[in-house]
């Protein structure tokens, strides 16, 4: 009742209650299959100047709650119950005119994906000035420049004259922050503001956001799927699962004593909080007795090098606007080797040349100089026929499970395609193989007839793994294979990769920007910066005693590091829930005789 009374006060007077209070919120979507409640009985409150994080996997209702607050639910969605109190005023059913008044001025938003949230056809300056003008503020060049400068963009005048595609992801995200805070609003909704960014850039952007919101006294609702990040940035955390708030409380307390089973799983699988290779444990648990496994020699330096990269260099020609081309060295004299049955991770921020290496190793891009030796053979000397056979032995898994599967192919056809391409087996044996592969990646046989758009991100990535395994390859190149996935799904896929490695003796080259993920899967690490390998060695030693600044920066950028004392972190892992329980238990044992 207090907040209702508060709304009767004059606008100018200090309001005592929370800035935002959500009570028993229910959001319903109309679908062809009937109504569906995306959010049920959600509740939270945010005081002025406070940051509250909302954590949950995709589809848990986080973003829907946020959109309900700012009144931008999709056409088929509506608030069907509860209240959203902003300074005591219930805006859950406010008129569109009132919402337009509030948007930008009182409630600001920083959206998730910096690539798609700026209109590609308008200059940055225009898109900023538009936000100022819509809220009745002066929008001269100097005002635009000031707003951009406050968001930490160097050379704001120049930036204003550029188009979104001319800026990096981090800079675009800053532009979005500048727009979201331009008025400045009393409440800021930051929906996964940094999940599309590198960890180091993420840290800078979040630091800056924190400084700005605390200076302005803005209340922030931070939406994220990363519990580590949430705990580090917010004073309180709200955990959502299946459309409900299952747990909420002060960050650290929630992290140390998670009560709800989902929160416990989340804490256990948060990559940023775990500190060991996950599959070491699952491997021993898994290969206990029933499963025969191929011999997997322990990594011993140089004993059995399956893949060796020597002095690899790749130069590109960059064309500037004036048509002059300047040489650009994407990969600069890189050497490393990968032992059979081990995982080598290549880590670095985006633009450091990791993916270029992956493409050269896959023989999809010709190196400028240097050699790639696979199983004793220099891959540049292969004939077309030999390259075809080589492809059988080395398969990729790409980052985006939404883009790497053909939407017109059903799952059966997707997995069968490599077998058909390489003319392996007949119809019935190929079908048998596809069934086996689905078993191996723990997908139900019934999914064979389904299409990628009917599957979740994690399921799609399992399909991509099954496709990569179809030809029984020796090496799998995982190019950011888990970075597009939620924390829990990420843990499941990593576990699956680890299990497959121990059963099949696979060798992985694992490309990632997230060191927390790398720690869980890799035996060896190469840290790259600007095309060069700046540090390389066994994972544990690189993590425990980083020698290069770049490695230290990457390590420090992992959200949640140092949040828990090491003992606590470990105890959470060993005494907490078994990660293997979270993932579907692989049924590989049965079919692998």
- Calculate helix-pair angle for 261-269, 566-575, nearest 10 degrees: 120
Least gap, CB of 46 to another protein (angstroms):
17
Cβ 112 to another protein shortest distance, Å = 8
Within 64-83, which residues bind another protein (CB under 8 A)?
70, 72
Give the tokens for residue 429. Answer: 């044996």
86's tokens: 């902003």
Q: By C-beta, is 185 or 560 nearer to another protein? A: 185
Length of the chain: 593
- Out of 121, 290, 408, 545, the residue judged to bind another protein by CB under 8 A: 121
CA–CA dist 353, 312 (Å, integer):
11
| Smallest distance, another protein to C-beta of residue 423, A | 38
Among 37, 89, 90, 130, binds another protein (CB under 8 A): 130
317 DSSP β-pair partners: 327
- Per-residue binding string, another protein, 170-209, x by CB under 8 A, is ------x--xx-xx--------------------------
- Do residues 482 and 458 lie in contact, with contact meaning Cβ atoms separated by under 8 Å? no
Cβ at position 258, least distance to another protein in Å:
33
- Radius of gyration over alpha carbons of the chain, in Å? 26
Would you say 35 or 101 has its CB closer to another protein? 101
The whole-angstrom separation of Cα 174 and Cα 190 is: 12
Q: Does 30 bind another protein (CB under 8 A)?
A: no
Which CB atom, from 104 or from 367, has the smaller least distance to another protein?
104
| Paired residues of 109 in beta bridges | 189
By C-alpha distance, which of 2, 58, 341, 40 is closest to 191? 58
b (16+ CB within 10 A) / e for 142-166: ebbbebbebbbbeebeebbeeebee
Residue 68: closest CA among 92, 103, 94: 92
* Binder of another protein out of 120, 288, 376, 566 (CB under 8 A): 120
Stretch that binds another protein, among 105-113, 461-469, 479-487, 531-539 (CB under 8 A): 105-113
- Find all residues with CB under 8 Å of 241, minimum gap 6, and list them: 56, 57, 60, 260, 262
Q: Which of 576, 397, 573, 365 is nearest to 493 (CA)?
A: 397
Per CB under 8 A, does 32 bind another protein?
no
As a whole number of angstroms, the distance between CA 98 and CA 92 comes to: 11
Select 147 or 239, whichever has its Cβ closest to another protein.
147
Residue ranges in 144-173 that form contacts with another protein under rule CB under 8 A:
163, 165
Residue 504 exposure: Cα atoms within 13 Å on the Cβ side: 24
Q: Which is nearer to another protein, 12 or 323 (CB)?
A: 323
Among 502, 477, 496, 509, CA closest to 297: 502
Q: In terms of CB distance, is 133 or 590 closer to another protein?
A: 133
Positions in 84-103 near another protein (CB under 8 A): 96, 100-101, 103
Q: Which of 7, 80, 135, 287 binds another protein (CB under 8 A)?
A: 135
Q: Which is nearer to another protein, 65 or 492 (CB)?
A: 65
Instruction: Examine residue 118 and tell whether it contacts another protein (CB under 8 A).
Output: yes
Among 141, 259, 319, 581, binds another protein (CB under 8 A): 319
**Could you list the residues that contact another protein (CB under 8 A)?**
70, 72, 96, 100-101, 103-105, 107-109, 111, 113, 116-122, 130-131, 134-135, 163, 165, 176, 179-180, 182-183, 319, 321, 323
């Amino acid at each position: 009742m207090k907040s209702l009374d508060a709304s009767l006060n004059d606008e100018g007077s200090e309001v005592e209650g929370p800035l935002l209070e959500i009570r028993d919120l229910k959001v319903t979507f109309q679908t062809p299959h009937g109504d569906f409640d995306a959010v049920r009985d959600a509740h939270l409150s945010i005081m002025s100047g406070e940051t509250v994080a909302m954590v949950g996997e995709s589809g848990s209702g986080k973003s829907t709650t946020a959109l309900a607050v700012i009144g931008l639910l999709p056409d088929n969605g509506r608030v069907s119950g509860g209240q959203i109190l902003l300074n005591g005023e219930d805006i859950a059913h406010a008129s569109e005119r009132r919402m337009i008044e509030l948007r930008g001025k009182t409630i600001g938003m920083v959206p998730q994906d910096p690539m798609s949230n700026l209109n590609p056809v308008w200059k940055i300056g225009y898109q900023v000035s538009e936000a100022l003008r819509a809220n009745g503020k002066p929008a001269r060049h100097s005002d635009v420049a000031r707003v951009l400068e406050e968001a930490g963009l160097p050379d704001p005048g120049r930036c204003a004259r550029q188009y979104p595609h001319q800026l990096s992801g981090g800079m675009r995200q800053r532009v979005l922050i500048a727009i979201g805070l331009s008025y400045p609003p009393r409440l800021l909704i930051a929906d996964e503001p940094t999940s599309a960014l590198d960890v180091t850039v993420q840290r800078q952007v979040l630091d800056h956001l924190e400084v700005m919101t605390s200076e302005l006294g803005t209340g922030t609702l931070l939406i994220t799927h990363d519990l580590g990040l949430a705990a580090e940035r917010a004073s309180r955390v709200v955990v959502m699962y299946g459309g409900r708030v299952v747990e909420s409380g002060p960050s650290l307390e929630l992290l140390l004593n998670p009560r709800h089973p989902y929160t416990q799983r989340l804490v256990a699988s948060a990559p940023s909080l775990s500190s060991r290779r996950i599959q070491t444990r699952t491997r021993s648990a898994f290969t206990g007795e029933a499963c025969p496994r191929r011999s997997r020699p322990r990594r011993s330096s140089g004993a059995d090098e399956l893949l060796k990269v020597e002095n690899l260099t790749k130069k590109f020609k960059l064309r500037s606007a004036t048509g002059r081309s300047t040489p650009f060295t994407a990969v600069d004299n890189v050497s490393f080797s990968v032992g059979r049955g081990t995982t080598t991770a290549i880590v670095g921020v985006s633009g450091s040349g990791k993916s270029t290496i992956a493409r050269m190793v896959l023989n999809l891009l010709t190196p400028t100089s240097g050699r790639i030796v696979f199983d004793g053979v220099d891959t540049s000397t292969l004939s077309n026929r030999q390259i075809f056979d080589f492809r059988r032995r080395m398969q990729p898994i790409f980052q985006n499970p939404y883009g790497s599967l053909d939407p017109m192919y059903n799952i059966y056809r997707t997995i069968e395609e490599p077998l058909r391409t390489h003319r392996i087996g007949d119809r019935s044996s190929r079908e048998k193989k596809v069934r086996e592969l689905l078993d191996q990646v723990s997908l139900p046989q019934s999914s064979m007839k389904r299409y990628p758009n009917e599957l979740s991100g994690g399921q799609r990535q399992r399909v991509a793994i099954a496709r990569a395994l179809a030809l029984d390859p020796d090496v799998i190149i995982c190019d950011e294979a888990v970075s597009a996935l939620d924390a829990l799904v990420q843990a499941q896929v990593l576990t699956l990769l680890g299990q497959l490695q121990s059963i099949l003796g696979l060798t992985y080259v694992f490309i990632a920007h997230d060191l927390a993920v790398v720690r869980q899967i890799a035996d060896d690490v190469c840290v790259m910066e600007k095309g060069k390998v700046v540090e390389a060695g066994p994972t544990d030693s690189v993590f425990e005693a980083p020698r290069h600044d770049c490695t230290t920066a990457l390590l420090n950028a992992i959200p949640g590091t140092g949040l828990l004392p090491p003992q606590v972190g470990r105890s959470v892992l060993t005494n907490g829930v078994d990660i293997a329980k979270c993932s579907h238990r692989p049924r590989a044992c049965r079919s692998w005789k």
